[in-house]
Structure 1
Amino acid sequence: MDDFLAARSQMALSLGFHIIFSCIGMVMPFFMAVSHFYYLKTKKQVYKNITKAWSKGVAIFFATGAVSGTALSFELGLLWPEFMKHAGPIFGMPFSLEGTAFFIEAIALGFFLYGWDRFNPWFHWVTGLVVGISGIVSGILVVAANAWMNSPAGFDYINGEYLNIDPIKAMFNDAWFSQALHMSIAAFCATGFAVAGVHAFMILKKKNIEFHAKSFKIAATFACIAALVQPLSGDISAKDVAKRQPAKLAAMEAHFQTERRAPFIIGGIPDEKNKKVDYAIKIPGLLSFITYGDINAEVKGLDQIPEEHHPPVAITHYAFQIMVGLGMIMMLISLLYFYQLWKKKEILSTKWLLKLFAIATPMGFIAVEAGWTVTEVGRQPWIIYNVMKTSEAVTPMPGIVYSFYIFTVIYLSLSFVVGFMLYRQIKMVDKIYDIPNDSVQKH
């Protein structure tokens, strides 16, 4: 493995772990706020128990997210110094604002964790809500910085120099809204299905049923709404990518030839050497309709893009297929869930639906990882789209491969520790907040 590949692999590893911690840190406070609201309105102890249990999970992921996020900020400077030298002054504003949002989130979380029976109950609830709002703002600001890499704005690039810098225009670039919307909804979907899946599994094991049933309903409702809304944001993103990054769209769909009535490809194995896709299901005209709203529209293929500017087609295509496929499965589960609610059927009696949620526990996060793979790999060979290549930004320092190995061990160890802490937390919940099964109320 050469140093360039090692640097890219280290960033991919770091982002891959951090994005999970970030999504949970962004979304769980809203679940916590809902259960806390129910407690304040109903005074039922079970909702207070749920809020306290979830707040401990939020604290765990906040701490790990802070550590992994700090590591990422150092990696940007150490692994990609040429990129930061030129890009830092342009898109530094969202990162500095993200730091402010992070501090607000940390202060609000401290107030919430230690504010039980010390603050006015509704002020205490607001501090928990602020944790979620600042977390969402923090995530949007980071995505805005990434969107700038896909749609650079706020400067003039003249003779290799970055002039007339406008940080506001850079932050609100053409891609920030579509990426921030898609990522925020994905975070709710992924975290919701993960949390609902864990509680569904515990219900199936007949552990502390009332606690897990009410927790499941809150998380599942968030998850299913997000899963049904996500295709709309996906459509916005697809149209945006078609306009700004035709090479990425072509790689996503393994679309080698420019053509009208371009088919939407499901599955298939891209053959980059012979410029074709084997074993794929093709729906004529659908790609043209999705991207331009016209079944006869022409969609640009990789044949109109210089080969040295082609993204890795196979990786981008497979990641896109995984993201869309898992998204469709979660949509189906969501429709079944809301159908059961509409029919006023007791969720606890539909074991098959609980099993589906349990199976779907990791799906959202796998889809998120696949989506970020599409975003990052699909932009290659550029680190700043059409301005600076990734190979031009990497550090000349040797020995990066050893750094990659060390970080791999650190992140695997961190994952083991977090998993162990969550396992202990779940076990403690069932011991501390155990409620007899015969007291379960219908909901």
Structure 2
Amino acid sequence: MDDLLAARSQMALSLGFHIIFACIGMVMPFFMATSHYKYLKTGEIVYKDLTKAWSRGVAIFFVTGAVSGTMLSFELGLLWPKFMLHAGPIFGMPFSLEGTAFFIEAIALGFYLYGWGKFKPWFHWATGVVVGISGLASGILVVAANGWMNSPTGFDFVNGEYLNIDPVKALFNEAWFSQALHMTLAAFAATGFAVAGIHAYLLLKGKNDVFHRKAFLIAISFGAVAAILQPLSGDISAKDIAVRQPAKLAAMEAHFETSKVAPLIIGGIPDEENETVNYAIKIPGALSFFAHGDFEAEVIGLDQFPKENHPPVMVTHFAFQIMVGLGMIMMGLSLLFFFSIWKRKSWQGSRWFLWLFALATPLGFIAVEAGWTVTEVGRQPWIIYEILKTKDALSPIPGIAYTFYLFTAIYLSLSLVVGFLLVRQIRSVPKASENISGISESQSTNS
């Protein structure tokens, strides 16, 4: 394995691992706060049990996310020193602000975990809300930094030098809003479906029916709303990419030749050598419409770019198809869920209904991984779009393959530890809730 492939593989592994914990860290605190709010309003002990169970899960993912995120920050400097040399002074602001949000999140989480019975109830609840808001802010700021890599701004590039640096303009680059919106909704959809799926499975196993049913309803409510809104954010992103990164859009759609009334390609196997797509379903004019809002608009193809600047079409196209396909499945399940609330509440207790959501547990995170593959692979060969190529930012130090093997072992170990902790956490669901979940604390005291 050569050093460039090893460095890119290490970053892919690190990002792919960290993004799961980042998504959960952005979203789970809102589930926790919602359950806590319901406990404060109703006094039902099941909501208190659920809040405490979820808060322990939030703590596990927070610690793991902190470790993997710290490793990522070191990797940026060690693997891509030329990138950090040029980019650091420009987009350092979002990383600095992200660090501030992270510390606020850590302090608020400490207050929340150890505040039971020590703070006034609504102040205690507010600390949980702060955990969610600061976690969400951290995610958005990191995505803003990635957006800058896709849409570099806030400086003048003159004779190989970065002049007139404006960190605020770099932070609010042209890509940050569409990427942040898309990523935030993806995080809510993925986490909502994952948490709901786990509780649906436990309902199928006959575990603590009331506890898991309430947990399922909270999680899927967040996830379903996000999944239904996600195609709208995807449309915003597609139109943005069509203008800013037409080569990425062309790779996503395996669109080799610039044309008007450009077809939308569903499925298919790209043949990069012959610049064709085999076994695809093509919808005439649909790509023109989704990219520019006009069925007859011209869509730029890969033929407008030198071949050495083409993104890897096969990987980008397949990842995009997976992301969209899974997103549509999740949207369909979301509509089914809301229909059940409206017309068929009895469905929610049916085994077929629960199995659908149990089987959908990993879909959101697979879609997230596929989406980040589109974002990162679709930008290649650039690490800073049209400014600095990935191969030119690589560290000259040899032996990067060995660090890739080392980090792979570390991440596998972390995965096993987190999996063990989560299984133990799920098994420790309070049994008392089965008997007193419908009784408020005040009722219990009076009896």
* TM-score interval, smaller chain: over 0.9
Aligned-partner SS, 2:207: coil
Contact 2:44 2:437 in 1 (8 A): no
Residue of structure 2 equivalent to 1:234: 234
Separation in 2, partners of 1:433, 1:177: 45
Shift of 1:353: 1.5
Contact 2:45/2:438 (CA < 8 Å) preserved in 1? no
Equivalent residue, structure 2, for 1:164:
164
Aligned pairs for 1:129-278 within 5 A: 129-278=129-278
Task: Compute the displacement of 1:351 (Å).
Answer: 1.9
The CA deviation at 1:352 is 1.3
Are the counterparts in 2 of residues 247 and 311 from structure 1 also a CA contact under 8 Å?
A: yes
Alignment of 1:365-404 (within 5 A): 365-404=365-404
The Cα offsets for residues 160-199 of structure 1, whole Å up to 9 and x where unpaired, read as 0000000000000000000000000000000000000000
Aligned amino acid, residue 24 of structure 2: I
In the TM superposition, residue 439 of structure 1 has moved relative to its aligned partner by 6.4
The runs of 5 or more residues in structure 2 that have no matched partner are 441-447
Cα distance in 1 for partners of 2:269, 2:91 equals 38
Q: Distance in 2 between matches of 1:375 and 1:361?
A: 23
Distance 1:433 1:397, change over 3 A: farther
Contact 1:322 1:370 (C-alpha < 8 Å) held by counterparts? yes
Residue 144 of structure 1, CA deviation: 0.3
Which amino acid in the other structure matches residue 373 of structure 1? T
Q: Secondary structure at the match of 2:281?
A: strand
Confirm or deny that 1:88 pairs with 2:88: yes
2:119 is paired with a residue of what secondary structure? Answer: coil
CA contact (8 A) 2:319 2:370 kept: yes
Question: 2: distance between equivalents of 1:106 and 1:314?
Answer: 41
Provide closer, same or farther for how the CA distance between residues 359 and 437 of structure 1 changes in structure 2, counting only shifts above 3 A. Answer: farther
Query: Offset of 1:433 from its aligned partner?
Result: 4.4
Deviations 1:81-139 (A, max 9, x none): 00000100000000000000000000000000000010000000000000000000000
Alpha-carbon offset, residue 204 of structure 1: 0.7
Secondary structure in 2 aligned to 1:288?
A: helix
User: 5 Å matches for 1:388-427?
Assistant: 388-427=388-427
- Give the superposition deviation at 1:434: 4.5
1:296 equivalent in structure 2: 296
Post-superposition offset of 1:346 = 3.0
- Residue pairs, 1:298-377, within 5 angstroms: 298-377=298-377
State the Cα deviation string for residues 276-324 of structure 1 (Å, max 9, x = none). 0000000110000001110000100001111111000000000000000
Contact 1:213–1:348 under 8 Å retained in 2: no
- Tell me the equivalent position of 1:435: 434
When residues 144 and 438 of structure 1 are mapped into structure 2, their CA distance, relative to the original with a 3 A threshold, is closer
Q: Cα offset for 1:350? A: 2.4
Alignment partners' CA distance in 1, 2:360 and 2:9:
28
In structure 2, distance between residues paired with 1:60 and 1:49: 17
Percent of residue pairs identical: 73
Q: Given that residues 49 and 433 in structure 2 are in contact (C-alpha distance below 8 angstroms), is that contact kept between their aligned partners in structure 1? A: no
TM, length-normalised to structure 1: 0.98
Matched position secondary structure for 1:397: coil
- In structure 1, the partner of 2:445 is none
Distance 1:130 1:348 in 2: 32
* Cα separation, 2, equivalents of 1:213 and 1:422: 19
Amino acid at match of 1:346: S
Structure 1: give runs of 5+ residues left out of the alignment.
Answer: none
Give the superposition deviation at 1:60.
Answer: 0.1
Contact kept in structure 1, 2:239 and 2:292, CA below 8 Å = yes
Distance 1:72 1:203 in 2: 37
After superposition, the Cα gap between the structure-2 partners of 1:146 and 1:433, relative to the gap in structure 1 and judged at 3 Å, is: farther
Distance 1:51 1:375, change over 3 A: same
Whole-Å Cα distance in 1 between the matches of residues 15 and 182 of structure 2?
17
Instruction: Kindly indicate whether residue 41 of structure 2 is the aligned counterpart of residue 41 of structure 1.
Output: yes
Deviation track 1:386-425 (CA, whole Å, cap 9, x = no partner) reads 0000000000000000000010011011001101100000
- Output the CA distance in 2 between the equivalents of 1:68 and 1:407: 10
Q: Answer yes or no: is the 8 Å Cα contact 1:13–1:408 preserved in 2.
A: yes
The 8 Å contact of residues 95 and 142 in structure 1, kept in 2 or not, is answered as yes
Counterparts in 2 of 1:278-293, with a 5 A limit? 278-293=278-293
Kept in 2: contact 1:7–1:404 (CA 8 A): yes
Contact 1:208–1:437 (Cα < 8 Å) also in 2: no
Residue 44 (structure 1) shift: 0.3
* 8 Å contact kept, 1:78–1:395: yes
Contact 2:46 2:433 in 1 (8 A): no
Cα distance in 2 for partners of 1:382, 1:242 equals 17
Separation in 1 of the partners of 2:417 and 2:118? Answer: 32
The whole-number CA distance in structure 2 between the counterparts of 1:155 and 1:349 is: 57
SS in 1 for 2:288: helix
Q: State the shift of 1:344 in Å.
A: 4.6
Letter in 2 for 1:218: I
| Aligned partners of 1:242 and 1:249 also within 8 Å | yes
Contact 1:209 1:440 survives alignment (8 Å): no
Contact 2:271 2:277 in 1 (8 A): yes
Paired AA for residue 235 in structure 1: D
